[in-house]
Amino acid sequence: MNHSNELPIEVSVTDVEALQKSGDEFILLDVREPHEYETARIEGSRLLPMSELRTRLNELEPHKNDHIVVQCHHGGRSMQVTQALRSIGFTRVQNMAGGIDQWSQKIDPSIPRY
């Protein structure tokens, strides 16, 4: 059962912070809406709203084997996107549990909560 490349479906904000600090290559995919991204965002994240995922999927295609961490406000939308991407063959996609709200509370209080 042990697939060494199979990542757990969820990661914590502290895991993501550790990833950033380690310099490991990964894509932090923010699937919130543009107005939310304007309000609060994690440095280095890339915006691709869940509402536009179907039409913009080709932007992610070249990254099919990359490590992608999906993030939203509280973790609901990002979990849906994580599961959707996994179901179409993205193998290294994880959901950041608790979303940017949790990130603001635990990692970077300078990020506004809304």
- Residue 72 designated active-site: yes
Number of C-beta neighbours around residue 85 at 10 A: 23
- Longest CA–CA span in the chain (Å) reads 42
- The two structure tokens encoding residue 77: 């939308």
Interatomic CA distance for residues 41 and 98, integer angstroms: 14
> Which pLDDT belongs to residue 2?
40
Phi, psi of 29 (to 5 degrees): -100, 115
Q: Round to whole Å and give the CA distance between 71 and 47.
A: 10
Residue 6 pLDDT > 90? no
4 or 33: whose pLDDT is higher? 33
Q: Where are the domains of the chain?
A: 13-106
pLDDT at 93: 98
The pLDDT value given to residue 40: 98
pLDDT computed for residue 86 by the predictor: 97
Give residue-wise pLDDT tens across range 90-110: 999 999 999 999 999 999 999
Instruction: Assign domain 13-106 one CATH number from 3.40.250.10, 3.20.20.30, 3.40.47.10, 3.40.50.300.
Output: 3.40.250.10
pLDDT tens by residue, 43-75:
999 999 999 999 999 999 999 999 999 999 999
Q: Which of 72, 79, 85, 100 is catalytic?
A: 72
Q: Is the pLDDT of residue 4 over 80?
A: no
According to the model, what pLDDT value does residue 73 have? 98
Look at residue 5 in the predicted model and tell me its pLDDT.
57
pLDDT at 7 over 50: yes
Query: Which pTM value belongs to this model?
Result: 0.94
